[in-house]
Homo-oligomer: A and B are copies of this chain.
């Protein structure tokens, strides 16, 4: 009984037939509940009660499987109603994106980090382009798109990697890191430490910080949307 508990005869079919869908399902659940480290082609096969080679028959290789997991994940994001004003629409989409990522941090991180062979939907990109195209941005539309996409997705990826990677689990190093930073080398951080402690990218340690980055995210979105708005009308680019 190398694969699962019910040893099948060589070449016999599984009693409950394995499908690509069931594989993606289980992979998603494993990553979501037990973390990325608990997932491998072998552990997944074991969970399903089949041999690893079976997975390869159904979904290709690991990269393609992760592509399918990414697709399943992204389908969980619902687009806001079309009727909304573009600014509220964009704001709401960005919020939903981040909320969905924080709800499935392990999945969101793994698929955005590993070379997943793209089964990319273009569903969300297309919707964003649609909204932006009505703003009279001209050829700048592609830059507005890239700026939104890069900043929003990037922010969330960084947030996830801080939330997931356990910083060196040296017990009460918290206090050490806190007041232990060298005021000579890092004078500005020292001075404003009360504002940044456990609240800023690169200055965070407790994996589930009591302080979320909610406000910073909102701040970023306002910067982006204000900026795009300011470039809409034939008002000059700067000044």
Contacts and interface: CB of A to CB of B under 8 A. Distances in A.
A155 B165 contact: no
A140 B189 contact: no
A218 to B, nearest CB: 8
Interface residues of A, number: 71
Contacts of A151: 150-151, 154-155, 220, 224
Nearest to A109: B113
A2 interface: no
Contacts of A188: 126-127, 129-130, 133
B202 A122 contact: yes
A125 B189 contact: yes
Interface in A200-239: 200-203, 213, 215-217, 219-220, 222-224, 226-228, 230, 237-238
Contact of A185 (B126, B149, B238): B126
A226 B230 contact: yes
Given A126-B186, A227-B227, A143 B192 contact: no
Interface in A69-125: 112-113, 115-118, 120, 122-123, 125
Contacts of A196: 129, 142, 145
Interface string A164-200: 1111100000000000010001111101100110011
Contact of A113 (B113, B140, B145, B200): B113
B143 A215 contact: yes
B118 A168 contact: yes
Contact of A189 (B122, B155, B222, B237): B122
Interface of A: 112-113, 115-118, 120, 122-123, 125-127, 129-130, 133, 139-147, 149-159, 161, 164-168, 181, 185-189, 191-192, 195-196, 199-203, 213, 215-217, 219-220, 222-224, 226-228, 230, 237-238
